[in-house]
Structure 1
Amino acid sequence: MPGIDAAITPRDIEINPGAAAAFDPRGAGQVLLHESRNAALSTLDPGGFPYGVVTNILPDYDGSPVFFTARLALHARNIAADDRVSLALAGFDRPDALTQPRMTLVGHSRRVGPERMAALSARFAARFPKAKLYLQLPDAALFRIEVLGVTVGGGPGRNAADIGFDAFRIDLSGAEGLIADEGAVLAELNAAPARLGAMAVGAGAAAGRWKAIALDPAGLILASGERLLRVDLPERVVTAAGFAAALARLAGG
């Protein structure tokens, strides 16, 4: 089947794409990847069965999923023996998840090294404030999934779409300065909450007390209570000044 990742075995049933309703797999997957708080993580138990847990999920700067585990957890033990994992994202809070877009990613799970642990822990805690407690545990660890395959399903009447992770991967080349300045940029944005509220409403979200919690060269993540919102920039940027200018253009200023 053209376009499918080798890590996911193609289905052996031919599907007529003309019979399906219109569906944007990249747009649906982008929302799931950046606005989901929770995901179902499956690892391989030594006995041969898949072992699933619910975990918190954080996109790294390039969009790759990052999750927390205590090293004493069963899924951490499984990963140590076989690092192949699968991650499922969906509207788990909806009455019927099968009527909503769904996303499955497979790949290798790599433990985050000490050189990145502090930065990603801060990013994780901004998304999950209570994580400040368990990230301090002596066996706390973050794992990053090197995605090899991804599928996005649109719900009834929409074909499951096979799409490569490159459609979601964020280009970080030349953006070291922006990433280093993330804290300062976010602090400046959060000093003007009314502007963030207007930005969220302009992006289609409900009014609320929105806070900027993460950024990358292609967008900004806002949070209000349990809600998350991805705001895409009109163009890719690599500096703090460029980020500010892109947001101004987005607001029409």
Structure 2
Amino acid sequence: MSGCCARRRPGQLRFFPSWLPRPKQCHTGAVWSRRALIVANPPRSNHIVTGKSHPHNCNGRAMPPDTTQPTGPDLQADPAAAARHIMRTALKGSLATLDQETGHPYASLVLTATESDGAPVLLISRLARHTRNLHGDARTSLLLDATNGLGDPLAGGRLTLLGEARPSSSPTALERFLARHPSAQAYAGFGDFSVYQVSIAGAHFVGGFGKIVDLTPAQLLIAVADALPLLTAAGDVIAHMNSDHSEAVALYATELAGARPGPWRLSGIDPEGLDLQLGEQAVRIAFAERVLTPEQARSALIALVQQARAVRDGGASG
């Protein structure tokens, strides 16, 4: 596309036209939007993010503590969409396996990511007890939740996936996991670590008190067979956006998902949306329509940044 950014890696895809301004760089190396630099009287909320250090602006001053939470699908209007949202934004979960010595359920904490279709993937060691349990019986249950920061966690959404966890042969599973958890690079190459995929047989979604529904795999996983061009280019799309358009990525999170300001990064893209991450927080941005090719992704990303700017400028003028 003519007029696109010239600064890119060899073979890297072009996405944004030249009118998209470069991000402002702080002396700390962080990228901040105007909204990130000036935060006055943030809205009060009981969904307070705790246990995280506060970012600093370009003047070295600590930013006010975050009091906002990202938005997501309506739990009552579309529980399947809310469940998929939890799957895409969860960074960790509780994996239950059957203990091979006693037969008791054995629950353990695991880091989670998803394949392009939404199937959960785990990077686990064969030395771990839960992995030994899976070798004896692949049946498992994976609990994912969206209750962080809630005054009453039982009022929040959570999803229990039932299925089997087996070693994955997918060529993209490890790449997508590491994009989600960069720190896992430190041990991903160890011989005892492998990627496992949870094949979903069913699910139980609780969106709060009295909001309970069972879901099928078809309601949780998306079709990706027709999106091979996009999936093949996904790594380049992500790298390009994070290196050349970090301001746009931050705008997606803050203006379209209502997330806290900061140096957000793109960690995944699939036919139905974007996965964004900042430290321990992840958000999901849905596309207006399915995206199947890099060209369609470019158009969708430009449309989203225009939408985000309109939201920001409308809020500033109001």
TM-score by length of 1: 0.85
1:80-159 paired onto structure 2 within 5 Å: 80-91=135-146, 93-94=148-149, 95-113=151-169, 116=171, 119-156=172-209, 158-159=210-211
For residue 205 of structure 2, what is the amino acid of its counterpart? Answer: V
Question: After TM superposition, which residue ranges in structure 1, 4 or more long, deviate above 4 angstroms?
Answer: none
Q: Which position in structure 2 is the counterpart of 1:16?
A: none
Q: Which position in structure 1 is the counterpart of 2:133?
A: 78
Q: Which position in structure 2 is the counterpart of 1:5?
A: none
SS of the residue corresponding to residue 225 of structure 2 reads coil
Give, in whole Å, the separation in 2 of the partners of 1:23 and 1:180: 34
Q: Which position in structure 2 is the counterpart of 1:170?
A: 222
Give, in whole Å, the separation in 2 of the partners of 1:84 and 1:179: 29
Give, in whole Å, the separation in 2 of the partners of 1:91 and 1:230: 13
Give, in whole Å, the separation in 1 of the partners of 2:272 and 2:175: 20
TM-score by length of 2: 0.68
Give, in whole Å, the separation in 1 of the partners of 2:142 and 2:76: 25
Instruction: Give ranges in structure 2 of 5+ residues lacking alignment.
Output: 1-74, 308-318
Instruction: Give ranges in structure 1 of 5+ residues lacking alignment.
Output: 1-20
Contact 2:76 2:211 in 1 (8 A): no
Q: CA deviation at 1:93?
A: 3.4
Greater alpha carbon shift after TM alignment, 53-62 vs 224-233: 224-233
Contact 1:23 1:154 in 2 (8 A): no
Residues 40-73 of structure 1 show CA distances to partners (whole Å, capped at 9, x for unaligned) of 0001112221111010010111100111210111
Aligned counterpart in structure 1 of residue 288 of structure 2, from 227, 231, 234: 234
For residue 63 of structure 1, what is the amino acid of its counterpart? Answer: G
Matched, 1:32 2:125: no
SS of the residue corresponding to residue 174 of structure 1 reads helix
Aligned counterpart in structure 2 of residue 49 of structure 1, from 97, 100, 104: 104
Q: CA deviation at 1:247?
A: 2.0
Contact 1:147 1:165 in 2 (8 A): yes
Give, in whole Å, the separation in 2 of the partners of 1:242 and 1:57: 28
Give, in whole Å, the separation in 2 of the partners of 1:92 and 1:206: 17
Give, in whole Å, the separation in 2 of the partners of 1:24 and 1:221: 20
Contact 2:114 2:177 in 1 (8 A): no
Residues 139-176 of structure 1 show CA distances to partners (whole Å, capped at 9, x for unaligned) of 111110110101110112x3311222222212102211
Contact 1:178 1:240 in 2 (8 A): yes
Higher strand residue share: 1
Residues 63-112 of structure 1 show CA distances to partners (whole Å, capped at 9, x for unaligned) of 00111210111111111111110000113633542121110000111201
SS of the residue corresponding to residue 226 of structure 2 reads coil
Q: Which position in structure 1 is the counterpart of 2:304?
A: 250
Among all aligned residue pairs of Structure 1 and Structure 2, give the percentage whose two residues are the same amino acid: 31
Give, in whole Å, the separation in 2 of the partners of 1:131 and 1:104: 24
SS of the residue corresponding to residue 175 of structure 1 reads helix
Residues 4-43 of structure 1 show CA distances to partners (whole Å, capped at 9, x for unaligned) of xxxxxxxxxxxxxxxxx94531232122111111100001
SS of the residue corresponding to residue 182 of structure 1 reads helix
Q: Which position in structure 2 is the counterpart of 1:12?
A: none
Contact 2:147 2:157 in 1 (8 A): no
Q: Which position in structure 2 is the counterpart of 1:14?
A: none
Greater alpha carbon shift after TM alignment, 50-59 vs 22-31: 22-31
SS of the residue corresponding to residue 259 of structure 2 reads coil
Number of equivalenced pairs: 229
Q: Which position in structure 2 is the counterpart of 1:68?
A: 123
Aligned counterpart in structure 2 of residue 185 of structure 1, from 209, 217, 237: 237
Task: From the CA coordinates, give the structure whose radius of gyration is larger.
Answer: 2
Give, in whole Å, the separation in 1 of the partners of 2:173 and 2:292: 19
Q: Which position in structure 2 is the counterpart of 1:13?
A: none
Aligned-pair Cα RMSD in Å: 1.8
Give, in whole Å, the separation in 2 of the partners of 1:102 and 1:140: 28
Give, in whole Å, the separation in 2 of the partners of 1:83 and 1:226: 29
For residue 48 of structure 1, what is the amino acid of its counterpart? Answer: G
